[in-house]
Structure 1
Amino acid sequence: MTGTRGGSDAERVLQRLLQPRPQFSVSFSRSVLASALWDLGEDDLADLALMIDDATLLSIQTISSWYEDRSFPLPVEGRQVTHNHVMALAAVTYLEGEVRPLARTRRRPAKDRPARFGTDAGGS
């Protein structure tokens, strides 16, 4: 990303989100993250999630901890924000540099999920 002196707004937001949230953390596996991404139509990021390193996974978990705060403004309309939305949005934010709406707001059926993503993804 390019930006003015001090970085762009998106860079500043990302740096803030990468700071641990006091007294709150979120933990999930790569396969759970990949499943959430696939469920919500982010197929390319779902495949990438299976290959991320530990530091990247930790960063996405840290962002997720902030996004779990119901007052945090996320680009999800007309739906209850689930843990799957939170994980997927955190991955989009970290891997693409800023948050954006997900490809889908409703999950795909779990029965259609490719085997490479496993079956341990929650439905919440």
Structure 2
Amino acid sequence: MADVGGGPVFHGPVHNSQIAWGNQEVAQHQHLGAGQALGDLQATVRALLDRLDELGLSLTDTAALRADADALMDEASSDAPDPGRLHRLYERIRTVLGVLATGAVTGAGAGAAQLAQTMLTDVQRALP
């Protein structure tokens, strides 16, 4: 965020945020429904699993990504999901997809890289 012309400028999406600008004293309260956020996360990870074979990953990377995505789904559907574990699993998924999204995987086509980038963005946005 940069101050250009007296107001905030955001270079990218802003989600679930509150911004106070030019206030001396401010009190903000925000209540997000975790249930909906977790439902969105599960739907996004389900979409990732449905398209996993389109990424052209090695068998080892595919198996690791599938295991992490399944674990993330299990955690998100538990009675008391652990946000730390959700984020750790996301980071593991991000590591695999990130390499593909940057085009660093030999033999991966541009379509796979774009799909990986889209999946990364979708899962990150869906994290509560």
* Shared fold (TM-score, shorter chain, > 0.5): no
Between Structure 1 and Structure 2, which shows a larger proportion of strand residues? 2
Query: Using CA pairs below 8 Å that are at least 6 residues apart, which structure has the higher relative contact order?
Result: 1
TM-score, normalised relative to structure 2? 0.29
Between Structure 1 and Structure 2, which shows a larger proportion of helix residues? 2
